[in-house]
């Protein structure tokens, strides 16, 4: 299936089209869903024969899927117990049809009236629990009997859990925990990945996620007009620039990093090195004169240029005038690493963006300058990629950091449309948003990357990719966040998360690119 990210309503519409327009019965979709859960659980946890399996079912279609799982698991030799947290006489449609099949097969079925009854059930000991309580239809907090069941398993559950479609209690649209939720080791979701399984905290509760084909025609997904995607290695590989055997450095772009201020000489140099590590042909760095000696000694491969600086130790309008020859040669500007929010730095940024004629990647205090003085960003500007962390995004949008984190996809999309830029909202599951409404979510990266300088490295990665022929701002941002996160993952495998530093991410960038290019 296509790697789109869907909401619950979008999935319902795709189910409806499949049934009504293509004539594929809902009962067949349910059968396929249950069978896919059984197959993927067997792949993950081994054969069913001899396993004691507890299947928790609600009264809706998710529960119907669970009843199909129970039937097939029993046919493969499992000792199955179904616990139904609903009144049988209130079940309808395809779920009711599968309940009647289970009853006719005389599979053990316990209709739960109180969560207290689970104590005796749990004492039997289970090799595997199947969570088919709620699915994608939850709205608001989990209440009543099913809430009590989920809280019981929060307190007592120690067996592996397979979630059917979505872990019960997780909002399929936002990943939020609706009061309480079941933690799964494996989630088998149907037709397309749900947004809530791709973002935190849903990611933590879903475990391994498999998108299973249950018979929804691919054209139904393709025609749904969904512009949310999970970034895949295949996509990154398809976008990476190719290097011909007779290539020379001039064919891979010239990055100019503009930044640095008193005490922050390292930031622009990390961005510069990262741009070269992802394939940029040339890189120069323009820094204030006062930090030139420290910056110039950092890297042999980068050309460092001292610029007149303000008394505050930052760049100024005069600095921008002095770097005119560099601006004329550059293919991409990386602006902001080690910047400053002093008034001269704000004026420098305003002047720089007014004369820039090539794509710009903007980060760090350059973003804070825009937040403090919005007219810094001209009405007409070249292609922009902005890379805020949640705090910087909050300042740009005039809201709290908490509000940003509560609606990362929505806020990133609003910012991209308001600012006319590709926006990279950094953090766990980085979001890339485009002005035309596109959303990408990055699955790579780890908590060890929450370290000083990691953002400067990402700025350099995106700029280095953007400088190369054929790369748009969207392509560079999408590929950049994936490669940056993958490099962090490779570094964490070698040095661990606690001691990971930004330089480790830079060192593993070439290996991350190799991983992407080597995909078969």
pLDDT higher than threshold 90 for residue 72: yes
pLDDT higher than threshold 90 for residue 53: yes
Q: What is the rounded average pLDDT of the residues 367-379?
A: 95
For 172-214, what is the HEC assignment?
Answer: CCCCCECCCCCCCCEEEEECCEEHHHHCCCHHHHHCEEEEECC
Q: What is the rounded average pLDDT of the residues 36-42?
A: 98
The set of residues, in sequence order, having a beta carbon less than 8 Å from that of 242 and lying 6+ positions away, is: none
**pLDDT at residue number 3:** 81
Burial label, 403 (beta-carbon count in 10 A; 0-12, 13-18, 19+): middle
**pLDDT at residue number 241:** 87
Burial label, 113 (beta-carbon count in 10 A; 0-12, 13-18, 19+): exposed
Apex CA 3: angle with CA 397 and CA 482, to 5°?
Answer: 60
d(CA 353, CA 421) in angstroms, rounded, equals: 13
pLDDT higher than threshold 70 for residue 394: yes
**pLDDT at residue number 520:** 55
Which CATH superfamily is 233-237+251-517 part of? Ribokinase (3.40.1190.20)
d(CA 82, CA 398) in angstroms, rounded, equals: 51
Q: What are 189-203's pLDDT values in tens digits?
A: 999 999 999 999 999
| Band of pLDDT at residue 315, cut at 50, 70 and 90 | very high
d(CA 205, CA 183) in angstroms, rounded, equals: 4
**Which token pair is 264?**
């922050």
Q: What is the rounded average pLDDT of the residues 371-390?
A: 95
**pLDDT at residue number 341:** 96
**pLDDT at residue number 242:** 86
Cite the residue boundaries of each domain of the chain with CATH code 3.40.1190.20: 233-237+251-517
| Band of pLDDT at residue 507, cut at 50, 70 and 90 | very high
Apex CA 390: angle with CA 386 and CA 392, to 5°?
Answer: 55
Comparing C-alpha atoms, which of 482, 503, 455 is closest to residue 231? Answer: 482
Q: What are 109-135's pLDDT values in tens digits?
A: 999 999 999 999 998 899 999 999 998
CATH class in words for 5-226: alpha beta
The proportion of the chain whose per-residue pLDDT surpasses 90, expressed as a percent, equals 91
d(CA 209, CA 163) in angstroms, rounded, equals: 9
**pLDDT at residue number 505:** 98
Q: What is the rounded average pLDDT of the residues 456-465?
A: 98
Give strand pairing partners of 189: 211
Q: What is the rounded average pLDDT of the residues 42-62?
A: 97
Q: What are 134-181's pLDDT values in tens digits?
A: 989 887 789 899 999 999 998 887 899 999 999 999 999 999 999 999
**Which token pair is 420?**
């006319």
**pLDDT at residue number 519:** 60
Comparing C-alpha atoms, which of 133, 134, 141 is closest to residue 179? Answer: 141
φ/ψ (deg, to 5) at 256: -110, 115
Q: Which residue has the higher pLDDT, 300 or 361?
A: 361
| Band of pLDDT at residue 2, cut at 50, 70 and 90 | low
Cite the residue boundaries of each domain of the chain with CATH code 3.40.50.10260: 5-226
| Band of pLDDT at residue 47, cut at 50, 70 and 90 | very high
**pLDDT at residue number 247:** 81
> What is the model's pTM?
0.93
């Amino acid at each position: 299936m296509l790697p789109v990210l869907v909401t619950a309503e979008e999935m319902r519409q795709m189910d409806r089209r499949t049934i009504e327009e293509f004539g594929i019965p809902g009962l067949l979709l349910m059968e396929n869903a249950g069978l896919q859960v059984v197959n993927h659980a067997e792949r993950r946890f081994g054969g069913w024969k001899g396993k004691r399996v507890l299947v928790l079912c609600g009264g809706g279609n998710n529960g119907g899927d669970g009843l199909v799982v129970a039937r097939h698991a029993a046919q493969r030799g499992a000792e199955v117990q179904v616990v139904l947290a609903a009144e049988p006489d209130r079940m309808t449609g395809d779920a009711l049809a599968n309940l009647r099949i289970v009853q006719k097969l005389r599979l053990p079925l316990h209709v739960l009236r109180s969560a207290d009854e689970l104590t005796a059930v749990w004492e039997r000991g289970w090799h595997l629990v199947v969570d088919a309580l709620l699915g994608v239809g939850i709205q608001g907090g989990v209440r009543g009997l099913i809430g009590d069941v989920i809280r019981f398993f929060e307190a007592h559950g120690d067996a592996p859990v397979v979630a059917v479609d979505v872990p019960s209690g997780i909002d399929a649209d936002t990943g939020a925990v609706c009061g309480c939720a079941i933690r799964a080791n494996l989630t088998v979701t149907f037709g397309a990945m749900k947004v809530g399984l791709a973002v935190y905290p849903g990611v933590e509760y879903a475990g391994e996620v498999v998108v299973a084909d249950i018979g929804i025609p691919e054209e139904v997904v393709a025609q749904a007009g969904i512009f949310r995607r999970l970034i895949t290695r295949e996509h990154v590989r398809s976008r990476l620039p190719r290097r011909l055997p007779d290539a020379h450095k001039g064919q891979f772009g010239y990055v100019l990093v503009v930044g640095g201020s008193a005490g922050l000489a390292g930031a622009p140099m990390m961005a510069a090195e990262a741009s070269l590590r992802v394939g940029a042909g040339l890189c120069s760095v323009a820094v204030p004169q006062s930090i030139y000696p420290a910056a110039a000694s950092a890297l042999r491969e980068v050309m460092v240029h001292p610029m007149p600086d303000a008394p505050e130790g930052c760049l100024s309008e005069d600095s921008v005038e002095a770097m005119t020859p560099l601006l004329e040669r550059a293919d991409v500007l990386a602006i902001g690493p080690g910047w400053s929010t002093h008034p001269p730095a704000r004026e420098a940024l305003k002047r720089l963006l007014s004369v820039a004629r090539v794509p710009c990647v903007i980060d760090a205090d350059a973003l804070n300058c825009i937040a403090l003085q919005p007219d810094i960003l001209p009405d007409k500007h070249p292609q922009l990629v902005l890379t805020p962390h949640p705090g910087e995004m909050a300042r740009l949008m005039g809201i709290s950091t908490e509000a940003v984190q509560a609606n990362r996809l929505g806020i990133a999309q609003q910012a991209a449309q308001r600012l006319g830029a590709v926006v990279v909202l950094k953090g766990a599951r980085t979001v890339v948003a485009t002005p035309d409404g596109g959303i990408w979510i990055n699955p790579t990266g780890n908590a060890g990357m929450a370290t000083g300088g990691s953002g400067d490295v990402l700025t350099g990665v995106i700029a280095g990719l953007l400088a190369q022929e054929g790369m748009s701002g969207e392509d560079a941002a999408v590929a950049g966040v994936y490669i940056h996160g993958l490099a962090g993952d490779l570094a964490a495998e070698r040095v661990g998360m606690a001691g990971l530093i930004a330089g480790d991410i830079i060192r593993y960038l070439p290996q991350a690119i190799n991983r992407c290019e080597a995909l078969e």
